[in-house]
């Protein structure tokens, strides 16, 4: 049952949404911008994995490299911001130190309603950076705010997270193959 439902959801993914995200990642690579990625819980793990796969996996044999940064990986910064300001600001506050309109921001939220992810995407839009959302369920606020989005329309957090990880590996594999010829 679990795998069958997962297979159906993968088959229902919008290829145009995936192709757009691939294109946006190649564009930020060409202009030498940074990619900031973040999420909570399982989405935080996916965000960390993005950084590993692009900074090492894709970039390993390239002269020009991807510049990915995962905002949920600096625990001391997150804890200080959460304690002194608000947990809702842990990503936006960090972006204020670095983000330019040349960059791309990827927010990952199964529900699409994680306030800290939504706040960061709002800020990125304000700065003029490109924004991508990876969402599940009905897409929530993140689907409305992100300029580009891949939506997994299922109301099961584990399956949403599984598919987000599949998407990360798919996108990484396609870009790696393209850049390495």
Burial class of residue 15 (count of CB atoms within 10 Å of its CB; 0-12, 13-18, 19+):
exposed
Confidence at residue 116, expressed as pLDDT on a 0 to 100 scale: 98
Which pTM value belongs to this model? Answer: 0.97
Contacts for 5 with CB less than 8 Å, ≥ 6 apart: 154, 156, 159
**pLDDT tens digits along 101-137:** 999 999 999 999 999 999 999 999 999 999 999 999 9
Domains present along the chain, CATH in parentheses: 22-180 (3.40.50.10490)
**pLDDT tens digits along 164-175:** 999 999 999 999
**pLDDT tens digits along 63-105:** 899 999 999 999 999 999 999 999 999 999 999 999 999 999 9
**pLDDT tens digits along 8-66:** 999 999 999 999 999 999 999 999 999 999 999 999 999 999 999 999 999 998 889 99
């Amino acid at each position: 049952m679990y795998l069958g439902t997962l297979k159906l959801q993968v088959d229902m993914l919008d290829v145009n949404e995936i192709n757009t995200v691939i294109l946006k990642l190649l564009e930020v690579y060409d202009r030498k911008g940074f990619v900031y990625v973040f999420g909570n819980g399982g989405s935080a793990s996916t965000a960390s994995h993005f950084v590993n796969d692009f900074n090492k996996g894709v970039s390993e044999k390239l002269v020009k490299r991807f510049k990915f940064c995962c905002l949920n990986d600096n625990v001391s910064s997150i804890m200080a911001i959460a304690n002194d300001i608000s947990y809702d600001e842990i990503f936006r506050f960090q972006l204020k130190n670095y983000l330019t309109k040349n960059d791309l921001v990827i927010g990952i939220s199964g529900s699409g309603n994680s306030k800290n992810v939504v706040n960061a995407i709002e800020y990125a839009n304000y700065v003029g950076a490109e924004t991508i959302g990876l969402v599940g369920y009905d897409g929530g606020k993140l689907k409305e705010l992100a300029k580009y989005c891949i939506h997994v329309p299922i109301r099961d957090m584990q399956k949403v997270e599984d598919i987000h990880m599949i998407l990360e590996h798919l996108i990484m594999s396609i870009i790696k193959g393209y850049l390495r010829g």
